[in-house]
Structure 1
């Protein structure tokens, strides 16, 4: 299959699997422990059914939405991922450019191959920044000033990485072993297009072509550095940390990794603007619920005081429509754009975004929703809504 023949995210997944060494694909694809939560994220979407309003006038449809005062072409956004460098050496640069071409949000990860200033300079689109708090909080103010000066509009603090999750695929593959295991080397040699691109990216860095990051800036120069980078960025985030960031950051502030509604009141009191209902794609604590199952609880608890987003399990525009109907202001996708990046670089990410856009547009038309605002809970059934009777109850 060629990239131009791909018709959905699963096709891009197959293309990515064909191009990447097994250990690298596992690093993108895998979850924590028995991967129960990873599977739940998908299975929960399948349980939710549509209830269309076919007599609505949907001759003209508008997928655009406004988030934090900014108009976007649609409410499907690109999540932060720390594995972009493994998919393509262009990494965040390619993803940021693709997001700008599609007029969607890209939230860049702290764990990145490129300095945040270089990513921002490469994009004309809407960039948000995902923050792993530095272990030395004394440098937090300087880091936030860098982020703001580069033009990132919103900041998201990830709260679910006090330690790295038990990602057993990576452990079995010994992906980060030093020196690399012979099997990993052979897998890379068996994927010459990937190996050439990966080694070229590393060589460009050594020649100073990947920008000029401050000495303490995280990067992903090689496979064996990735785990160290993530572990260095991982740290416990407390309520006091949120207060500290809120005092220093003047733009929209988002909490990423919320999985319960009873913390919304305190977040509102602290001046937080939004939350991402996320279980880290099933890559941290295994055994937590699917994010789409937790979404209604958080939406109800937020009661319009917080902008609520969903992350986890979205593979179709139909999935996005279900989350939007349950109250999400937008959905984030991670693995889907990594598949696109692996399969075709920037062009692959653009094509993946457009496939999701086409699917969301089609779903809205068939549901009887001419605008994103027309998507509401009357259009879905089978969701686990707090207080609902019967099987839909929690």
Structure 2
């Protein structure tokens, strides 16, 4: 099955409200559509007579040496898509050598996610995504859970000072999880109701000071996710970020921002190789990965396609998505004359509307 066919199978399998939750974006969903369309504006200029029979596509990421350049981006509530939820996703990612970023809004607690990954691979890389909480003790409790579980890095999502307004969810009345499902990482936190998870809380008052505090809480590398402006990328590096993730939250936050890939070159120039730059948003094929790496990314994150694979075929579907993207990327790299990821350079990317 192609990724498009997996999407169609997932749509048929999912409750329509769940499908809309995963597929939808903020506002009129202009950014959601732009993330994918933006890749169509870029073309690759291959080099010739400089390739190799075999290629090395591994990349060293914080807490994940020798990882695949395809990372499983954080997405919420996997048990709504499949009964095995995040455990199935974790096993698939570990089997394919991909970093899994499991999130605060997972329907399986982080310890269970890491245990599932370890049941498949000896040394899997699982990162923990969290939102800087306005209460320091809540953030610290989540950090400790990630450490105790065996996560190898933290990913701070900083593009959500408030929740995005999702038109589909408002229309469907999707304001809370069905009975039997919860954001399991939020249980037992300071201030949480006894036996119930605390709410995931955003705050517009979160600042770079909170990034500094989080870094002081842990020895784990901390990546900053949700950066679009090059000055913020530079600030992230100055505040000790181990990596910068260019992202507009999959079009689920502000519906007036650029497509993520259009922001990538300026961010990469600002970071200037001091830390890895990752991109998520709109990646749907191996050629998209090649474009992103040529424009300065070290790796890309993939979110919705993973959920479609999970909903359609469970663990096997997630493996199918990750393997397809990896193999398509390797094939594109070969066609562009590359032996390794760094052979893809900015001068190999042109706009399709330009005349040569």
Answer yes or no: is the 8 Å Cα contact 1:255–1:274 preserved in 2.
yes
Of residues 18, 25, 29 in structure 1, which corresponds to 2:12? 18
- Following the alignment from structure 1 to structure 2, what is the Cα–Cα distance between the partners of residues 69 and 249? 13
- Following the alignment from structure 1 to structure 2, what is the Cα–Cα distance between the partners of residues 68 and 319? 23
Of residues 270, 285, 288 in structure 2, which corresponds to 1:319? 288
Answer yes or no: is the 8 Å Cα contact 2:63–2:221 preserved in 1.
no
Superimposed CA distance per residue, residues 107-140 of structure 1 (whole angstroms, 9 cap, x where no aligned partner) = 0011111111111112121100101233421233
Aligned positions, number: 346
Pairwise CA distance, 1:214:
4.4
Answer yes or no: is the 8 Å Cα contact 1:156–1:255 preserved in 2.
yes
Q: Secondary structure of the residue that 2:65 maps to in structure 1?
A: strand
- Following the alignment from structure 1 to structure 2, what is the Cα–Cα distance between the partners of residues 83 and 173? 17
**Aligned twin of 1:75:** 69
- 2:309 corresponds to 1:340: yes
Distance 1:266 1:10, change over 3 A: same
Answer yes or no: is the 8 Å Cα contact 1:135–1:232 preserved in 2.
no
Answer yes or no: is the 8 Å Cα contact 1:160–1:257 preserved in 2.
yes
**Aligned twin of 1:154:** 153
> Which of structure 1's runs of 4+ aligned residues deviate more than 3 A?
210-214
- 2:77 corresponds to 1:109: no
Answer yes or no: is the 8 Å Cα contact 2:62–2:243 preserved in 1.
no
Of residues 40, 43, 46 in structure 1, which corresponds to 2:40? 46
- Following the alignment from structure 2 to structure 1, what is the Cα–Cα distance between the partners of residues 271 and 185? 41
**Aligned twin of 1:144:** 143
Please provide the CA RMSD for this pair: 2.7
- Following the alignment from structure 1 to structure 2, what is the Cα–Cα distance between the partners of residues 115 and 50? 41
Q: Secondary structure of the residue that 1:235 maps to in structure 2?
A: coil
Distance 1:212 1:252, change over 3 A: closer
Q: Secondary structure of the residue that 1:294 maps to in structure 2?
A: helix
- Following the alignment from structure 2 to structure 1, what is the Cα–Cα distance between the partners of residues 138 and 10? 38
- Following the alignment from structure 1 to structure 2, what is the Cα–Cα distance between the partners of residues 53 and 366? 8
Unaligned runs of 5+ in 1: 1-5, 181-198, 218-224, 384-389
Q: Secondary structure of the residue that 1:71 maps to in structure 2?
A: strand
**Aligned twin of 2:200:** 232
Of residues 201, 209, 216 in structure 1, which corresponds to 2:189? 216
Distance 1:53 1:97, change over 3 A: same
Pairwise CA distance, 1:391:
7.1
- Following the alignment from structure 1 to structure 2, what is the Cα–Cα distance between the partners of residues 95 and 169? 25
Q: Secondary structure of the residue that 1:123 maps to in structure 2?
A: helix
Distance 1:211 1:369, change over 3 A: same
Distance 1:372 1:339, change over 3 A: same
- 2:115 corresponds to 1:121: yes
**Aligned twin of 2:260:** 291
Of residues 221, 226, 231 in structure 2, which corresponds to 1:252? 221
**Aligned twin of 2:193:** none
Q: Looking at secondary structure, tell me which structure has more helix per residue.
A: 1
- Following the alignment from structure 2 to structure 1, what is the Cα–Cα distance between the partners of residues 176 and 216? 41
Distance 1:336 1:211, change over 3 A: closer
Answer yes or no: is the 8 Å Cα contact 2:106–2:184 preserved in 1.
no
- Following the alignment from structure 1 to structure 2, what is the Cα–Cα distance between the partners of residues 213 and 164? 17
Answer yes or no: is the 8 Å Cα contact 1:52–1:379 preserved in 2.
yes
